[in-house]
Amino acid sequence: MTKKISPFYILVAYVLLQFSWWAYALVDLNEEIYTSRIELLKHQDLASTNFELQKKEFDNKLFKKKLMVGGEGAIFFALLLIGIYRTKKAFAQEFALAKQQKNFLLSITHEFKSPLAAVKLNLQTLQKRSLEPHQKEDVIRKALIETDRIHLLVENALMASRLESSNYDIHFEEINFSKFVHNIVSDFVERYDHDHIITFDIDSNIAFKGDSLALTSMINNLLENAEKYSPPNTTITITLKMIESYIILSVIDQGNGIQESDKHKIFNKFYRIGNEDTRKTKGTGLGLFIVSHVVAIHKGKVQVLDNVPNGSIFEVKFQA
């Protein structure tokens, strides 16, 4: 990054040097003019009083010229500093976005490659080997699981694009949110081979008016996020509570938690903690971006809290 920006700093240094030279030359020119006029006055046959008046007038003009140069220089210098700061900030943002997009391409390539390879392997197994009925069912089930992962990746990419471009058509409908959440979590458990313990704590008959497709994506992404960043054999808890006039959905994990410096960044598009070259967890950086936008279109609020003794709590709050 430093090598790419170095020409910019060279240009800034050149402009500052030119500006300094311009200010010096202008002040020096005015002083030369002042000296020449004083010399002319000395050679003129003027009374002492007239000479002092003329000299005082020249002194005032010289002072005003210096004041003008100093004032214009200060304004120019301030504008230049603001321009440098904004340009540097824009460079930093562009480089950060380019890095995130690179990481996204690397991760999405890996995310598609793994399940596609698994599906191919399962199909080759069915083609080349004679299997018992229960073995065939197991192979087909595994292939369907990987197909679901591909489907979720595609849906996330499309959903993120529609949400960001404001092209998503919102269809609000009355939902039994308790059954809705329970069904999504149950389906999530059935679809994948989990090495986590997933528990429920859902109040019954909570009603909510929302977009079922967007809310399904939101909940699935919260569950995927909790599973990715939680160690094996730990518990992931999903709670749904009605507290006063608010519906509160929480996904609680026992992972490593999230640092305070990252909590306001994780909902940005493509943002993932760490570097794609060293990161071991799956993901594209779209899941929590989708969560934040779905919550926003339902006029809700999402926040990340620290779980005790370790882990994170993703809490979504809606007005009932």
Q: Scanning the structure block, which residue is given the tokens 């030369």?
A: 32
Task: Give the pairing of strands 312-319 and 301-306.
Answer: antiparallel
- At 215, which amino acid appears? L
Q: What is the pLDDT of residue 84?
A: 79
Same domain, 229 and 143: no
Instruction: Report d(CA 295, CA 185) in Å as an integer.
Output: 18
Q: What is the mean pLDDT of residues 281-297?
A: 83
Same domain, 202 and 298: yes
Same domain, 313 and 177: yes
Q: Which residue has the higher pLDDT, 300 or 271?
A: 300
- In which element (H, E) is residue 62 found? helix 48-128
Q: What is the mean pLDDT of residues 269-283?
A: 57
Highest mean pLDDT among 61-70, 262-271, 309-318: 309-318
Instruction: Report d(CA 313, CA 203) in Å as an integer.
Output: 18
- In which element (H, E) is residue 150 found? helix 133-164
Residue 309, preceding peptide bond in cis (omega within 30° of 0): yes
Same domain, 152 and 232: no
Same domain, 129 and 72: no
Same domain, 91 and 116: no
Q: What is the pLDDT of residue 123?
A: 87
Q: Is 203 left (phi over 0), alpha (psi -120 to 50) or beta?
A: beta
Phi, psi dihedral angles at 172 (to 5 degrees): -80, 135
Task: Give the pairing of strands 235-243 and 197-202.
Answer: parallel
CATH number for position 180: 3.30.565.10
Same domain, 305 and 267: yes
Q: What is the pLDDT of residue 180?
A: 96
Q: What is the mean pLDDT of residues 196-212?
A: 92
pLDDT (tens digit, 9 = 90+) per residue, 208-235? 999 999 999 999 999 988 988 888 889 9
User: Which residues are 240's β-sheet partners?
Assistant: 202, 249
Number of compact structural domains in the chain:
3
| Residue 131 pLDDT exceeds 70 | yes
For residue 238, the tally of other CB atoms under 10 A from its CB is: 22
Q: Residue 273 corresponds to which tokens in the numbers above? A: 């903690």
Same domain, 94 and 108: no
Last residue of a domain, one of 67, 98, 129: 98
- At 38, which amino acid appears? I
CATH number for position 121: 1.10.287.130
Q: What is the mean pLDDT of residues 51-70?
A: 76
Domain holding 189, by residue range, is: 173-319
Residue 7, preceding peptide bond in cis (omega within 30° of 0): no
Q: What is the pTM of this model?
A: 0.61
Q: Residue 121 corresponds to which tokens in the numbers above? A: 């392997």
Q: Which residue has the higher pLDDT, 285 or 196?
A: 196
- At 37, which amino acid appears? R
Same domain, 82 and 114: no
Same domain, 109 and 80: no
pLDDT band at 280 (very low <50, low <70, confident <90, very high): low
Q: What is the mean pLDDT of the chain?
A: 81
Quote the DSSP letter at residue 271: -
pLDDT (tens digit, 9 = 90+) per residue, 77-89? 788 788 878 887 8
Same domain, 199 and 274: yes
Q: Scanning the structure block, which residue is given the tokens 């489907």?
A: 151
Q: Is 286 left (phi over 0), alpha (psi -120 to 50) or beta?
A: alpha
Instruction: Report d(CA 234, CA 116) in Å as an integer.
Output: 28
| Residue 166 pLDDT exceeds 50 | yes
Instruction: Report d(CA 66, CA 28) in Å as an integer.
Output: 10
Same domain, 93 and 110: no
